[in-house]
Amino acid sequence: MKREIALVGAILLSSALAATSEPARGEGVRASASPASASENERCTSCHADIAAEWSSSLHRSAFRDASFARGYAIERLAFCRSCHAPEADPRDEPDAWSADHGVTCTSCHGATVSAAHDATPAKRAALGVRVCAGCHEFGFPEKDSDPRAPARAEPARMMQRTAAEHASGPHAQTSCATCHLPKVGEGASRHASHRFGITRSREALAAALTASGRRDGGAFVLDLAPKGVGHAFPTGDMFRRLRVVVEVGPDGAEPTARFERRLARTFGMVKGRRAEIEDTRLFGPTAFTFPLPPAAEGQPVRFRVGYQRLVNVPSGNRLTARTERVEEELVLAEGRVP
């Protein structure tokens, strides 16, 4: 069923992308544009100081310098990683200092020049919206490590990220990416779309996007999880994000009588010599997880915890398989106790 959803989403997304002939930022190989980009971005920030201040401390600004990305990039220094984490430089080489320091800039999303950004009509901006985001949040595995960019479209199992397709086939398809990820802030003439881009590192924001409750059902414990107001799978993005569910049974403060752990994520492996998805257990809607309890657990409390994990690497059927899995961070989104 999830593969069917992904396929429908890919078809819908292809239709949306076909609505405009302009390439999304990140498509194609460009020569280093840092001198021009620096000048154009300076023009943007000189007039939009409040937005520039938000962006300057955002994950878009630190896309290449971010310590978490750096640890993963040290394992695989691939061109297609650079094409989105330092989009103002030529991805075939390591980025120059300006491109590395500035990450995803004004011109990366709004157009190569100030004139292009200002001349776009509201209808044109709306049509390009999904393309701008999809350029770095919807792509397949590169055919070769040396490829300067990943393919924008591929069969669903070969998509490394498919957030835009998930959105296109989900219940909030008519809600733009910007509605949630660039919420309006400020008052009056200063009201604008926030450029902080902080959701993926905010425990509060992530916790607000999930509901969790536990219950007993005969000799089993059932954990009900559901994404809340989320326009794509939860979690979405690359293979380095997942939910970890832990259920423990036993007296408080003592060693558990029984313990269960489940990971909700996309799992990849080698299929006919190519990386491809072999399982997807993420949340696409309300889901009940059942854990059979041993007889010794009768009358004992059950505790559960749901954590959002970011990883440096993952066993995925490629050369990372032999490496030890490394968890960068876990944010506890929900926890509870059922007598």
Give the SS3 label for residue 13: helix
Residues 227 and 272 reside in one and the same domain: yes
pLDDT-derived band at 120, boundaries 50, 70, 90: low
Q: Which residue has the higher pLDDT, 64 or 312?
A: 64
Q: Which of 197, 217, 245 is the last residue of a domain?
A: 197
Same domain flag for 324 and 288: yes
Q: Which residues pair with 161 in a beta bridge?
A: 139
- Asked if residue 267 and residue 133 are part of one domain, the reply reads no
Residues 39 and 144 in one domain: yes
Q: Is the pLDDT of residue 335 over 70?
A: yes
Q: In terms of domains, do 177 and 309 share one?
A: no
> Which uninterrupted H or E stretch holds 255?
none
Instruction: Read off the CATH number of the domain in which 300 is found.
Output: 2.60.40
Residues in the chain, total: 339
Amino acid 211 reads T
Looking at the structure, tell me whether residues 218 and 322 fall in a common domain: yes
pLDDT of residue 93: 93
State the pLDDT at residue 14. 42
Based on the structure, what is the number of domains in the chain? 2
pLDDT attached to residue 8: 36
Long-range Cβ pairs for the range 153-157 (8 Å, 24+): 153/10, 153/14, 156/3, 156/6, 156/7, 156/10, 156/277, 157/3, 157/271, 157/276, 157/277, 157/278
Instruction: Determine the pLDDT at residue 143.
Output: 83
**Are 191 and 124 in the same domain?**
yes
Same structural domain, 35 and 123: yes
pTM of the model: 0.84
User: Is 79's pLDDT higher than 80?
Assistant: yes
Read off the pLDDT of residues 139-165 as tens digits, 9 standing for 90 and up: 998 888 788 878 887 888 899 999 999
pLDDT of residue 251: 94
128 vs 36 pLDDT, higher one: 36
Is pLDDT at 175 greater than 80 in this prediction?
A: yes
Instruction: Give the strands of the sheet with 326-338, arranged side by side.
Output: 258-264, 241-249, 302-313, 326-338
Domain match, 107 and 232 both? no
Last residue of a domain, one of 176, 197, 218: 197
Report pLDDT digits (tens) over 177-229. Answer: 988 999 999 999 999 999 999 898 999 999 999 999 999 999 999 999 999 99
Return the closest-CA partner of residue 133 out of 169, 83, 170, 176. Answer: 176
Please tell me whether residues 185 and 330 are part of one structural domain: no
Q: What is the pLDDT of residues 275-329, one digit of tens each?
A: 889 999 999 999 999 999 999 888 999 999 999 999 987 654 444 344 567 899 9
Q: Are residues 149 and 18 in the same domain?
A: yes
Whether 131 and 11 map to the same domain: the answer is yes
Q: What is the pLDDT of residue 129?
A: 65
pLDDT tens-digit readout, 220-256: 999 999 999 999 999 998 888 999 999 999 999 999 9
- Choosing from 156, 173, 197, the residue where a domain stops is 197
Q: Which residue has the higher pLDDT, 76 or 307?
A: 307
**Residue 2: pLDDT band by 50, 70, 90 thresholds?**
very low
Which tokens go with 27? 């498509």
d(CA 19, CA 130): 10
Instruction: Please give the residue range of the domain that contains residue 93.
Output: 2-197
Does 33 have pLDDT greater than 60?
no
